[in-house]
Amino acid sequence: MEKLSYALGMVIGHNLKGMGVDSINGADFAQALTDVITGQTTKLTDAEAQQLVNNFMQKQQEEATRAIREEGEKFLAENAKKEGVTVLPSGLQYTVIKEGTGNQPLATDRVKCHYEGTLTNGQVFDSSYRRGEPAVFPLNGVIAGWTEGVQLMKEGAKYRFFIPYNLAYGERGAGQAIPPYAALIFDVELISIEK
């Protein structure tokens, strides 16, 4: 029973740490566990306890998203100073890796592109290269940073775009891979304009 109790504590501890809990009053925590398991009267109602936990989780989320936003803004501010980086009025930044010689797309065109998207920490969240197949999509059906940026390219070009959150996935992010307020980096190769 001692080992099992300790093991259960470890599992709960890992779960709490994953939720952002970095300190706890062990005596109160143990008392609450004991009260619930043995059916004793708890110091809080279930609703009160749930509200306290919800408030904590909301605060943790707000702090995390603020940190991501600040990190992205700092990254873009420093990146804008680098040689070869062009900053557009919208806040979109880009560098030319290779110029193209073909036609330039309009926002209403369908384009075929190879691309790789990363967070500012270098973590890849999407890559047509890794899938081994370029993507075809309407240019006005993607994030605003892509719609604006790819129109600057000619077929055969490869650019690197640095996209502020408001031209990317905004305050919501996208799935598990892209957090809210994340600035993104995309290497984009415009293969062709599809007719």
Active site residues: 115, 125-126, 143, 169, 186
Distance linking the first and last C-alpha atoms of the chain? 70
Burial 1-28 (b: 16+ CB within 10 A, else e): eeeeeeeeeeeeeeeeeeeeeeeeeeee
At 86, list the tokens.
């062009």
| Distance separating alpha carbons of residues 50 and 52, to the nearest angstrom | 5
Q: Can you tell me the distance from the alpha carbon of 170 to that of 184, in angstroms, rounded to the nearest whole number?
A: 11
Phi and psi at residue 67, to the nearest 5°: -65, -40
* Residue type at position 30: A
- How far apart CA 22 and CA 145 sit, in angstroms, is 37
